[in-house]
Amino acid sequence: MTATRKLAGLAIFLLAVFVLVPALIAATGRKDLYYTLTSVALLSIASAGVWLTFYIGRINMGQGAFALMGAYVAAVLVTRYGMSFWWTLPAAGLFCALASLLIGLPILRLRGVYFAMVSLVLTEVTRLLALAVPITEGAKGITNIPLPGAISLFGITLVPDFSTMENPRIAFYYLAVTLMVIAFAAMYRLVNSRIGHICMSLQQNEELASSIGVNIVHLRLIAFAISSFLGGVSGAAFAAVTQSVYPSSFTVTDSVNFMLNCFLGGLGYVFGPMLGTLTLYFGWNLLFQTGEFQLLIYSSVMILLMLVLPNGLLSLGEGRRKG
Amino acid sequence: METILQIRDLTRRFGGLTAVNNVSFEVREKEILSVIGPNGAGKSTLFKLIASFLKPTSGEVLYRGERISGLAPHIAARKGVVRTFQETTIFRNMTVRENIIVAHHLRSKASLAGFFFGTRAAREDERAFGESADEIIHFLNLDDLAREKAKNLPHGHLRALGIGIGLATNPAVLLLDEPFAGMNHDETHKAVAMVRRLRERGLTVLLVEHDMPAVMKISDRIVVINFGQKIAEGTPLEIQNNEKVIEAYLGAEDEAIGM
Ligand SMILES: Nc1ncnc2c1ncn2[C@@H]1O[C@H](COP(=O)(O)OP(=O)(O)OP(=O)(O)O)[C@@H](O)[C@H]1O
Ligand SMILES: [Mg+2]
């Protein structure tokens, strides 16, 4: 793709997300879509992290743990220490990144299904910890989290206090898609810079990568920390949107879904997790009408898609371009 | 000539099996030294020990007088000791040029964050790596295949690419494990010439190879390993006439030793 086509694509995307979608929602009056799309945007951020760990050759089913951690960190900081929501976003991200360094050091040595299993267990351990540790308030969770306050710079209000808004859901939508755009822009830059190539070398052959001087332990940790940072930010934003967090806010199912989002969108494409999250989220909700068959149909379609499109939905465009 | 590598009493056990047993020898700067021996003699294990891919059970490897054995492989590589692999090991889903560019890792002056933000140092690195990669590609006669995905290369070229990846790290010592394996006569001929040119570039080359005519033609000196032990060391002529060597080869398999 040429640079102009890329810019045009970006412009259309931004226009769609920031102008067209809100306009459509206003026209159709389906305000409930704001909440759905906010969720999709935030979940896609966590999925982008998982995608990055795939990129270094690790099947990461631990993102639920970091999303939950991020949500609690933000909730505790806001409710107990009165920190502004805006600061809790980076704080939760950093907390999760640091935690992932400690956790990653021993477990990132594992490969394939071993890493996948341990990371899955990590999600469950985090949930159990949230139940047990006093500061997270057990099963009743943390509720009544205040809405985000205003952001002012030099006395000018850039973002008004969410609680003064008529419909904070719209504000949350803008917040979520802004975070999503930032996360994916950073990811795009990362993958298309030399770092991406080094990550790719790790994915394809760790031994060879270390023979050319790549510190594979170091690089794996960096990738895992970035992934967990995104998980934490996503969780923190979720806590603010729902104004609550429970041990069951992010579970093993979510961890698996983050991974499926990446598979579905395409592991070879930076924007794969975004498309995957959107498709899965809406697909699952559409199937709601099928009642008890929801899970069966959903699973069958997933298996079929993986067989027919092993490189994800975005590989459809690739084939057309080649053909 | 100066000694660049000293292998001292190197031993490596795998459970009850002693794959490398008390091996010592020295490698001089800018020589081509071959390690030969029957299948399973311990040659690849010896190379892995030298390149720090394995930790020795006992003994040590000194590079310019400094102990490198037992360090991590990327640190040995940083110091200048780099191995290629017995199997054709490359980054399959990258193009030839991308393979060689990414292998310039050790030469980067910019940090990872620098590459993310595209700082001037990073852009300078990218430019230098591209130039150097093109030079290496040309050196290996891979110009026409530069934009080909590595997994689509024919076998002979895969080996060349493996060596190119090694070269990109700018090593002082390059360890090549069976670089001529699976090549026909013509390809071997070209590859031998290429290894000679490596030396002209100032590299010290260690070679494991089963192709005896090629080994005899190319080596300054040869070290012979059998059952993990060094049984001989000398010039190709000395090795060809060494009783123990002839015996080891006749005892192990019907492999002519280039006579
Ligand atoms: N990681 C390992 N674990 C256990 N045994 C090993 C390991 N690596 C090598 N060995 C054993 O050590 C011995 C020497 O193996 P090595 O690969 O060094 O032989 P080689 O001389 O390179 O043989 P070839 O010419 O077939 O490549 C063999 O018996 C092999 O089975
Ligand atoms: Mg071998």
pLDDT at A28 over 50: yes
- Among A77-91, A146-160, B114-128, the range scoring the smallest mean pLDDT is A146-160
Residue A322 has pLDDT above 50, yes or no: no
Whether residue B178 sits in one domain with residue B75: yes
Is the same domain home to B166 and B176?
no
Which of B68, B79, B99, B105 to probe the A interface (max A CBs under 10 A)?
Answer: B105
Distance between CA A308 and CA A69 in Å, rounded? 36
Question: What are the pLDDT digits (tens) for A271-308?
Answer: 999 999 999 998 888 888 888 888 888 888 888 887 88
Structure tokens belonging to residue A197: 């190539």
Nearest to B169 among A198, A200, A213 (CB): A213
- Looking at the structure of chain A, the number of domains it has is 1
Both tokens assigned to A209: 């990568």
Domain end position, chosen among B145, B170, B195: B170
A319's CB contacts (< 8 A; 6+ apart) are none
pLDDT at A1: 61
Q: Which of B44, B47, B207, B255 most suits a substitution to test ligand 1, by most atoms within 8 Å of the C-beta?
A: B44
Give the CA count within 13 Å in the CB-facing half-sphere of A138.
Answer: 2
Q: Are residues B184 and B131 in the same domain?
A: no
- pLDDT at residue B86 in the model: 73
Can you give the pLDDT at residue A46? 97
B68's torsion region: left (phi>0), alpha (psi -120 to 50) or beta? alpha
Q: Is the pLDDT of residue B124 over 60?
A: yes
Q: A9-18, pLDDT tens digit by residue? A: 899 999 999 9
Q: Is B45 in the pocket of ligand 1 (CB under 6 A)?
A: yes
Residues B165 and B176 in one domain: no
Rounded Cα gap, residues A75 and A50, in angstroms: 23
Residues B145 and B191 in one domain: no
Q: What is the DSSP string of B167-211?
A: HHT--SEEEEESTTTT--HHHHHHHHHHHHHHHHTT-EEEEE-S-
Number of C-beta neighbours around residue A132 at 10 A: 10
Quick one: B192 and B208 in the same domain? yes
> Which A positions 130-189 lie with beta carbon below 8 A of chain B?
189
Q: Read off the tokens for B252.
A: 């192990």
What are the pLDDT digits (tens) for A144-194?
899 998 888 887 888 888 888 888 899 999 999 999 999 999 999 999 999
Asked if residue B190 and residue B156 are part of one domain, the reply reads no
Averaged pLDDT, B17-39: 95
**Do B2 and B46 have their domain in common?**
yes
pLDDT of residue A318: 67
Domain closes at, from B152, B170, B188 = B170
Under a CB-based contact definition with an 8 Å cutoff, are residues A139 and A246 in contact?
Answer: yes
- Does residue A120 have a pLDDT over 90? yes
Q: Alpha-carbon distance A137 to A71, whole Å?
A: 13
- Number of cross-chain residue pairs from A and B with Cβ atoms under 8 Å apart: 86
Give me the domain span that covers residue A60. Answer: 31-149+159-251
For residue A12, is it within any domain?
no
User: How many CB atoms are located within 10 Å of the residue A271 CB?
Assistant: 18
In CATH, what number is assigned to the domain containing residue B177? 3.40.50.300
User: Residue A189 domain-assigned?
Assistant: yes
- Do B125 and B253 reside in the same domain of the chain? no
Residue A197 in contact with partner chain B when CB distance is under 8 A: yes
Residues B14 and B27 in one domain: yes
Mean pLDDT of A101-116: 92
Tell me what pLDDT residue B53 has: 92
Give the model's pLDDT for residue B58.
95
Final residue of a domain: which of B147, B170, B193?
B170
| Residue A173 covered by a domain | yes
Q: Do B94 and A200 touch (CB under 8 A)?
A: yes
Neighbours of B234 (CB within 10 A): 15
The reported pLDDT for the residue numbered A319 is: 55
Q: In chain B, which residue's Cα lies nearest the Cα of A222? A: B112
Q: Is residue A144 part of a domain?
A: yes
pLDDT digits (tens, 9 = 90+) for A217-270: 999 999 999 999 999 999 999 999 999 999 999 999 999 999 999 988 888 889
- Which residue range(s) make up the domain with B125? 86-170
The verdict on residue A62 lying in a domain is: yes
**Banded model confidence at residue A91, pLDDT cuts 50, 70, 90:** very high
User: Does any domain span residue A74?
Assistant: yes
With beta carbons under 8 A apart, name residues in chain B contacting A311.
Answer: none
Q: How many domains does chain B have?
A: 2
Please indicate whether residue B247 or residue B20 has the higher confidence score (pLDDT): B20
Residue A225, pLDDT score: 97
Chain A contact present for B166, CB below 8 A: yes
Residue A321 has what pLDDT? 47
- Our CA-based measurement puts residue B68 at a distance from the nearest CA of chain A, in whole angstroms, of 14
**Residue A217 with chain B: CB contacts under 8 Å:** 72
Pocket test for ligand 1, best of B20, B34, B43, B53 (most atoms within 8 A of CB): B43
CA distances from B128 to A197, B101, B122, B150 (A): 16, 10, 10, 22
What are the phi and psi torsion angles at B236 (to 5°)? -55, -40
Residue A283 lies in a domain: no
Residues 6+ apart with CB under 8 A from A115: A58, A59, A60, A107, A108
pLDDT band at B259 (very low <50, low <70, confident <90, very high): very low
Judge whether residue B255 has pLDDT over 70: no
